[in-house]
Structure 1
Amino acid sequence: MSNSNLNCSVSNCAHNNGGACFAGSINVAGSSATTTSSTSCSSYEDKSASGFTNCAGGCSCTKTSNISCQAGNCKHNSLGSCTASNVQINAQNASCETFISE
């Protein structure tokens, strides 16, 4: 298992391998979000509809430093980058559970 500070509970995402994200980088959408449910990982790829699979061997997992964040109202957003020490993506709707409204 990788040592990522990005934890993903979306088991049906093609980038997810055991809770770690192997997308390389992700984008969190929600430019006018004021709640967690108004955010989403727009890098989500449905595993059943995707033609690719995650990289589990020689690839590195996605870290919070590789998150582009459009949620301008989040206290962890600094000029479009995530500054949270750990990020959790929700299994239900791929929302960013780390979002905290300013």
Structure 2
Amino acid sequence: MSFVAAYDPTPSRRPRADFRILTVTPPVAPPGVAAALTRARLDWIWARAERAWYFANAANRASLALHAAFGFVEVGRGPEFQAVRFEGGTGVLPCAVRPLPGS
């Protein structure tokens, strides 16, 4: 499971966008599809917010590596994020900051 949103994780603020599950299966999808979808989601978020937040199971190395390539840095771990419980695993919460124009 993955999640990317334009939101502030403090309890007083609500998400403005919620993309809950995105799975790209390599044998079926052409190379680059996951990166293209991630870029499209981030373009949408950057037009509206300075930060993007995402979570995934710590065992989902492919998703974590993909998002790291887009500037996501881990800021937390826990058994649950946004009411999604990571049964048998740990959730990872990375965050990315909108790039400066022209970078």
TM-score (ref. length: structure 1): 0.31
Greater fraction of residues in strand: 2
Greater fraction of residues in helix: 2
Between structure 1 and structure 2, the one with the greater Rg is 2
TM-score (ref. length: structure 2): 0.31
Higher relative contact order, structure no. (Cα contacts within 8 Å, ≥ 6 residues apart): 1
